[in-house]
Structure 1
Amino acid sequence: MTATADLYDLHGDSLQSLPLQLRSFGGVPQFEGTIRTVRCFEDNALVKRILATSGDGAVLVVDGDGSLQTALMGDMIAQSAVDAGWSGVVIHGCVRDSVILGTMPLGVKALGTNPRKSAKAGVGEIDVPVEFGGVVFRPGARLFADADGILVER
C-alpha cells in the first residue's frame, strides 16, 4: 500500500483527510479497504454482527458518537473480524483488550480505551453514511490508513 502522505500528494482534494488523532491499536499499522459502516452509541451488538460476516478485505467504520464511556470492540470481536477477512476497523469511540489487539493481524484505530463493556441491545444503523471529524464515510468508498492518519475517497 502507498503511504497516505504520498496518496494525498498524488490525489489531493479528491481525498478527505481525517484530522482526528485516532490511536492505533491493531497489529497492522497500515491498512486499506472498502468502507462498511455502523452507527451506534455505547452498544456493540451491530459491530459484533457485522464483523462476524465475510469482510473481503473491507474496513468497518464505527461511529460511536465519540463516547469514551464504553468499549465498542475487544479481542473476541476483533478475532471474529480477523477470521472473517476484514482488513481493519476505525472506531469513533473506545476499544478494550488493547494489548491483545496489538498482537492481531488487523488494523484498528480508535479514540482510546475503556475496559467497560457496552450494551448489547442492537440499537443503531448499518451501511449508512456516517460523519465525524468533518469527514463523511460512505459505504463503498475506499479508506486508507497508516501511522500518519486516515484518508477517505470523496
Structure 2
Amino acid sequence: MPATTDLCDANEAKLADGTLRVLAPNFHRYGKHTMFAGRVKTLKVFEDNSLVRTAVETAGHGQVLVVDGAASLRCALLGGNLGKLAEKNDWAGVVLNAPIRDADEIDACAIGVRALGTCPVKSKKTGAGSFDVPLAFGGVTVKPGDWCYADRDGVLFSDVELA
C-alpha cells in the first residue's frame, strides 16, 4: 500500500475537488497494523455496539468498517472480543467515531483500528443503528463503497480506488 502522504501528493486534484478526503488527526491508533486499506462498509450507531458485532461476525473480505458513533465518549463501541472477531473474519480495519476498550487486547489483533480514545464502559445492546448509510464526521463524508487508506500519517477516504 502506498503511504498516505504519497497518495495525497499524487492526487492533489482529488483533494481539491473533494473526491479524496483526509480525516481529522484526532483519531488514535490501535491494533497491530498501523497501515491498512480497503473498501468501506459504513455503520451509524449511538452508544450501542450490537451492529458492530453483527458486522465483524461476517466475512470482511479485507474491508474497512467505518462506524459513526456520534463522537459519544460515554462508552466503547469496540472491545477485545470484537477485535478478535474482526481479525478472524478478515477485516482490514475499523475506524470508529467513538472510543474502544480493552486496548491491550485490540493491540494484539492483526487489524488496524482508529478511534477517539478509550473508555472502560461497555455499550448498550439494543440493536439500533443503520448499515450502508453516508456518514459525516471528523471533517469528512464517507459513503458505502468508498476506499479507506490509513497509516501513521493519517486516514484518507476516496471515492475511487487509488493506485
What TM-score results when the alignment is normalised by the length of structure 1? 0.97
Q: What residue is the counterpart of 2:155 in the other structure?
A: 150
- The 5-angstrom pairing of residues 75-94 of structure 1 reads 75-94=80-99
TM-superposed CA distance for 1:97, in Å, is 0.4
Q: What residue is the counterpart of 1:6 in the other structure?
A: 6
Q: What residue is the counterpart of 1:102 in the other structure?
A: 107
Distance in 2 separating the partners of 1:60 and 1:21: 18
Q: What residue is the counterpart of 1:19 in the other structure?
A: 24
Q: Which runs of 5+ in 1 are unaligned?
A: none
Distance in 2 separating the partners of 1:106 and 1:46: 19
- The 5-angstrom pairing of residues 66-145 of structure 1 reads 66-145=71-150
What TM-score results when the alignment is normalised by the length of structure 2? 0.92
Distance in 2 separating the partners of 1:26 and 1:145: 12
Shift >6 Å, 4+ stretches: none
Amino acid at match of 1:21: N
Amino acid at match of 1:18: L
SS state at 1:90 partner? strand
SS state at 2:77 partner? strand
Higher strand fraction: Structure 1 or Structure 2?
Answer: 1
Distance in 1 separating the partners of 2:66 and 2:11: 22
Q: 2:39 aligns with which of 27, 34, 43?
A: 34
Amino acid at match of 2:64: V
Task: Give yes or no for contact 1:21–1:149 (8 Å, CA) kept in 2.
Answer: no
TM-superposed CA distance for 1:20, in Å, is 3.6
1:4-50 CA distance string (max 9 Å, x none): 00000001214101124200011110000000011000000000001
Distance in 2 separating the partners of 1:129 and 1:89: 16
TM-superposed CA distance for 1:103, in Å, is 1.4
Amino acid at match of 1:42: E
Amino acid at match of 1:44: N
Distance in 1 separating the partners of 2:60 and 2:133: 17
1:40-81 CA distance string (max 9 Å, x none): 000000000011101000000000000110000001011111
Distance in 1 separating the partners of 2:82 and 2:24: 27
Q: Which runs of 5+ in 2 are unaligned?
A: none
